[in-house]
Structure 1
């Protein structure tokens, strides 16, 4: 897969996640938030079973104990992030939730550096600051005046999101089994969410039935499709840069909140969306800009008068 195709998969994942904030927020009001996390990821696990089995049949390298352990650790990170985020969405707006979730873009490079010692490119850090500034403008009035405990939980969830994202490339580098990783991750999150949810939350048949559309969308689209696309793309796109592309999630969350929940989308919010898009463009154009060498640029500049004279002669003959 080419880098551009991997990046487009991440954009599609961000679109699905941004719109999923609506489904998640509605479901949290109908059934327990942790129970919802468990049920939706169990559905995702079932959806990925055929792909994981097919991949296992095609692979010639058996899974090692360390592979299972790393996949389980990633699943635990995703469970912590998803559960905290879902509980937090009960008392925050979809717009604020999208902004606070986007803050993991500045944490992923730190986790990658801590794990591998690879320093992020400067353009990635600049793009991260630009994207976070844009996400801030997407909040209500560009300020969190109605700070709630839910906002704090979503913010804490960013740490778990960043840890999970940064661990995926480490798994794929040692075991090229992306569908297995998605299947194992969904299984861990689904099992933990269901057990914890049943233990601490009341679950009714009426609430489960009412939340079924949200469960289907979050389980099949947000989980089964978007999370799997993220895992596949992270094999080709560095984690820190992938996080920046996925920060478009906050833009899609704001747009879906404005369209479906009548949440206000102000001029500052539109500017914020433009800044996030600029951050994505910066991280995408960074490698191309770095290939332009300064000596070559000055050589071209020194020859500019010759090109100008040649164009003048051509223009004179054309007249």
Structure 2
């Protein structure tokens, strides 16, 4: 897969996740949060099982201890992020939740730096700040901040989990390029943990899941089975910080989907926020190559010199 195709896959994933926010809103108050997480990822695991089995059958080597350890850590980040986000969205305002969910864009370069010691490019850092400002305009209309609630704190904690998951995924793929197996493990482990937590802390009623079947199927098949898997595959070719920026377009697509499907109206400030997020993505995608061309041959190695190898992420 080329970098362009990988970025296009991430863009598609962001689109599907944005529409999934509508499905999650429809499911609120119908399916308990942990039960929703358990059911959606159980469906995702079933969807990915055939591809994971085929990939495992063709794999030249089995997972070693390091690969298993990182895969389990990534699965835990998915469980923690999904559970805290779903609970937080039920206990905070949509305004605060929309902005705070987008904060993982800023946390991802920090997670990469802590795990690998590699600082993000300056243009990426600027784009992260622009994207966060755009998320604030989109979610809050530029108004004054509200006092933080328990739900806000839960969503901020979920952002830490999302950032760590995005940072760890290419570290796994660099050692074992088996994205479908990783996706299946994530869904299966996350679904099992959520099911156990739901059984312990929530009333489990079959009627709730039947009432929320349509949003569950969308979240499980499209958002999970398709979009999350596309993200994992694409992250083998796009650096984590840049991937997080492209995925931040999820909030823009969520606003557009809400306007189309739920008749929600976008204010001028929200529209400006959408434009700012889009600009931050374009800055990274087009700004870097443009700067390199403007600088010309000053940064280009001599023709006789071999190209510098890009450092690969290593497993801890």
User: What TM-score, normalized by structure 1, do the two folds share?
Assistant: 0.89
Deviations 1:244-271 (A, max 9, x none): 0000011111122233334331001001
Deviations 1:256-315 (A, max 9, x none): 223333433100100100000000000101331232254769xxxxxxxxxxxxxxxxxx
Report if the CA contact (8 A) 1:25-1:94 is conserved: no
Higher mean C-alpha deviation, range 22-31 or range 163-172: 22-31
- The equivalences for 1:1-319 within 5 A come to 1-94=1-94, 96-143=96-143, 144-145=145-146, 148-294=149-295
Q: 1:13 to 1:23 in 2, by over 3 A?
A: same
* 1:316 aligned partner: none
Report if the CA contact (8 A) 2:123-2:288 is conserved: no
CA distance in 2, matches of 1:232, 1:287: 23
CA distance in 1, matches of 2:90, 2:260: 19
Q: 1:51 to 1:278 in 2, by over 3 A?
A: same
Structure 2's unaligned 5+ residue stretches are 299-316
CA distance in 1, matches of 2:150, 2:296: 54
Aligned residue pairs, count: 297
For residue 90 of structure 1, report the CA deviation from its aligned partner. 1.1
For residue 14 of structure 1, report the CA deviation from its aligned partner. 0.5
Deviations 1:190-218 (A, max 9, x none): 00000100110012122111011111000
- The DSSP-based 3-state class of the residue aligned with 1:292 is helix
Q: 1:295 to 1:38 in 2, by over 3 A?
A: closer
Greater helix fraction, Structure 1 or Structure 2: 1
CA distance in 2, matches of 1:243, 1:138: 18
Task: State the superposition RMSD in angstroms.
Answer: 1.7
User: What TM-score, normalized by structure 2, do the two folds share?
Assistant: 0.90
CA distance in 1, matches of 2:60, 2:34: 37
Report if the CA contact (8 A) 1:95-1:254 is conserved: no
Report if the CA contact (8 A) 1:95-1:250 is conserved: no
Higher mean C-alpha deviation, range 187-196 or range 18-27: 18-27
CA distance in 1, matches of 2:156, 2:117: 25
- The DSSP-based 3-state class of the residue aligned with 1:203 is coil
Higher mean C-alpha deviation, range 180-189 or range 202-211: 202-211
CA distance in 2, matches of 1:216, 1:142: 35
